Amino acid sequence: MSMQDRKIALIVAADEPALFFTSIKAAESYLETIDVENYEYSAAYDPDGRLYQIGTSGKRVVITPERDQPSDPAALKALLLGFLSEIGEPGSEADSLETLIKRCERYVSA
């Protein structure tokens, strides 16, 4: 996958502490229903901080936009800063959300 194909479309808060995906479909294929049912993923965001709900339908993972929740770019920024710190490449509060997301593109899971 080239760098140009690694654009992040969805960020999932997890034990890692974050997983990055190029599409909702990629995230639905990658995440396991048992983990969703065990609440392993606490939140999901698009790059603008819009919240997504992670659920299951039978043996499938289903990710849908949270229609009743406002965007939370501050929470997404905190998640990205935590991820970068965890992997030994700390960011700064002064970094823009766009800058932090760009720094995370090489960690796309699927």
Structure tokens at 7: 């654009």
pLDDT in tens, 78-110: 999 999 999 999 999 999 999 999 999 999 987
Sheet holding 43-45, edge to edge: 18-21, 10-13, 43-45, 51-57, 60-65
pLDDT digits (tens, 9 = 90+) for 30-46: 999 999 999 999 999 99
3-class DSSP assignment, residue 21: strand
